């Protein structure tokens, strides 16, 4: 059985949009830790549109253009902004400590590596970082492994890198991992070398790299995007909590020795308790609703989610990157 996962660089068009949305979110939380933010970004071909809802305790106008430029530079983009206050009908449920929306969240942890993520995802991200350090531009990596976790094939496409340069980096990366490059299918810039990338080549949209933002295609996803959303949105906060639960159960081994744990949570808008809170393992399915305080307000407090930490998650992912929900013990 083969397994494949991909990763994209921070300058992929969709990731640029994620980063802009989370840059705005972090700015808002830095001013007002109780800010309600749901910001979507769409960009491409000289145009960037910022749309959504922001409720924040400040009289100052948000410096959206400056925040966008912190991500994309001083390029001559036409920036259009339409931000309004959060709907009071949504807000009333959150004000009482309930979920900011309905949703399904999936958390996962496994023993494939020291980041506790699927091996194919771990490798795709590691290779993407390795190449990005040399060519900080638009790019993608894809890694296929066999049933023994051996690397079977690699696809690597990066803007501004020639085939020879990219092939050399992939070769080096494989050798550093103790893998014979001749044993691996290597497909570098398979459509040819490319110079036009990012917003110049393609349009991007916040939340369009859901599988990359989670654990790769081996693990199901709930469907809610992360970027641009403050932690009152359980799409984000409860997904991080689900990851914590999966890791906690894997490390504790309280129900037996496990090699992977999947946690499923689900909420209704305004609800202070989840409808479903279970873990799935090789030993069966177990209810964990009484083992953790899963009210949205307590999740926010437990994981310290009112801080401006989100821009960093939008670059290289939220799992396996030493954020609080990945910690062994949380005080």
* CATH code: domain of residue 285: 3.30.300.10
In a domain, 69, yes or no: no
8 A C-beta contact, residue 306 and residue 231:
yes
In a domain, 300, yes or no: yes
What pLDDT is recorded for position 330?
A: 65
What pLDDT is recorded for position 90?
A: 84
Residue 288 and residue 140 share a domain: no
Residue 240 and residue 322 share a domain: yes
The CA–CA distances, whole Å, from 166 to 158, 187, 289 equal 8, 10, 48
In a domain, 76, yes or no: no
Residue with tokens 């964990």: 288
Q: How far apart are CA 309 and CA 25, in angstroms?
A: 9
Residue 191 and residue 132 share a domain: yes
State pTM to two decimals. 0.96
Q: What per-residue string of b and e applies to 73-110 under the rule 16 or more CB within 10 Å gives b?
A: eeeebebeeebeebeeebbebbeeebbbbebbbbbbbb
Residue 153: strand pairing partners: 144, 185
Residue 235 and residue 108 share a domain: yes
Provide long-range contacts, Cβ within 8 A and 24+ apart, for 159-164.
159/11, 159/135, 159/194, 159/195, 159/196, 159/197, 159/198, 160/135, 160/195, 160/197, 161/131, 161/134, 161/135, 161/137, 161/189, 161/193, 162/189, 162/193, 163/188, 163/189, 163/193
Residue 246: enclosing H or E segment and its boundaries? helix 234-252
Residue 158 and residue 249 share a domain: no
What pLDDT is recorded for position 265?
A: 98
What pLDDT is recorded for position 75?
A: 84
Residue 264: strand pairing partners: 106, 278
8 A C-beta contact, residue 92 and residue 79:
no
In a domain, 66, yes or no: no
In a domain, 194, yes or no: yes
Question: Is 159 in a helix, a strand, or coil?
Answer: coil
The CA–CA distances, whole Å, from 240 to 114, 153, 266 equal 18, 31, 13
Residue 251 and residue 109 share a domain: yes
In a domain, 210, yes or no: no
- One digit per residue, the tens of pLDDT, for the chain of length 331 reads 999 999 999 999 999 999 999 999 999 999 999 999 999 999 999 999 999 999 999 988 999 999 999 999 988 899 999 999 998 888 888 888 889 889 999 999 999 999 999 999 999 999 999 999 999 999 999 999 999 999 999 999 999 999 999 999 999 999 999 999 999 999 999 999 999 999 999 999 999 999 999 999 999 999 899 999 999 999 999 999 999 999 999 998 877 778 999 999 999 999 999 999 999 999 999 999 999 999 999 999 999 999 999 999 999 999 999 999 998 776 6
In a domain, 35, yes or no: no
**Domain range for residue 125?**
3-8+118-199
Question: Is 105 in a helix, a strand, or coil?
Answer: strand
Q: Please state, as a whole number, how many other Cβ atoms lie within 10 Å of the Cβ of residue 19.
A: 27
8 A C-beta contact, residue 235 and residue 105:
yes
Residue 322 and residue 249 share a domain: yes
What pLDDT is recorded for position 319?
A: 97
Q: How far apart are CA 252 and CA 258, in angstroms?
A: 9
Pick from 276, 286, 275, 220: which is nearest to 253 by CA?
286
Question: Is 169 in a helix, a strand, or coil?
Answer: helix
Residue 286 and residue 149 share a domain: no
Residue 247 and residue 108 share a domain: yes
Question: Is 48 in a helix, a strand, or coil?
Answer: strand
Residue 298 and residue 245 share a domain: yes
Residue 153 and residue 295 share a domain: no
What pLDDT is recorded for position 331?
A: 60
Cα-based torsion angle of the residue sequence 156, 5, 153, 250 in order, rounded to the nearest 10 degrees: 130
- Number of domains into which the chain is organized: 2
Q: Token digits for 178?
A: 């103790």
For residue 284, give the DSSP letter: E
In a domain, 40, yes or no: no
8 A C-beta contact, residue 75 and residue 227:
no
Residue 289 and residue 242 share a domain: yes
């Amino acid at each position: 059985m083969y397994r494949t996962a991909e990763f994209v660089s921070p300058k992929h068009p969709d990731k640029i949009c994620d980063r802009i949305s989370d840059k705005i979110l972090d700015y808002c939380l830095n001013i007002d830790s109780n800010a309600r933010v749901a910001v979507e970004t769409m960009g491409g071909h000289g145009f960037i549109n910022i749309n959504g809802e922001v409720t924040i305790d400040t009289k100052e106008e948000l410096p959206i253009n400056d925040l966008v430029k912190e991500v994309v530079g001083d390029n001559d983009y036409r920036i259009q902004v339409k931000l309004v206050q959060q709907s009071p009908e949504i807000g009333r449920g959150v004000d009482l400590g309930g979920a900011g929306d309905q949703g399904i969240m999936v958390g996962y942890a496994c023993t494939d590596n020291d980041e506790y993520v699927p091996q194919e995802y771990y490798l795709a991200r590691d290779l993407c970082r390795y190449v990005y350090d040399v060519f900080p531009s638009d790019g993608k990596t894809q890694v296929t492994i066999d049933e023994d976790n051996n690397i079977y094939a690699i696809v690597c496409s990066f803007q501004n890198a020639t085939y020879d340069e990219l092939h050399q980096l992939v070769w080096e990366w494989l050798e550093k991992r103790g893998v014979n490059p001749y044993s691996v299918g290597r497909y570098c810039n398979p459509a040819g070398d490319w110079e036009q990338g990012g917003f110049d080549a393609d349009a991007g949209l916040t939340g369009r790299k859901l599988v990359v933002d989670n654990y790769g295609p081996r693990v199901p996803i709930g469907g809610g995007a992360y970027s641009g959303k403050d932690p009152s949105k359980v799409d984000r906060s409860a997904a991080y909590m689900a990851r914590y639960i999966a890791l906690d159960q894997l490390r504790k081994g309280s129900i037996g020795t496990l090699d992977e744990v999947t946690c499923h949570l689900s909420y209704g808008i305004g609800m202070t308790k989840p409808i479903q809170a279970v873990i799935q393992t090789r030993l069966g399915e177990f209810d964990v609703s009484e083992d953790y305080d899963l009210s949205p307000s307590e999740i926010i407090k437990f994981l310290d989610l009112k801080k401006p930490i989100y821009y960093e998650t939008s670059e290289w992912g939220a799992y396996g990157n030493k954020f609080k929900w990945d910690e062994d013990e949380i005080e």
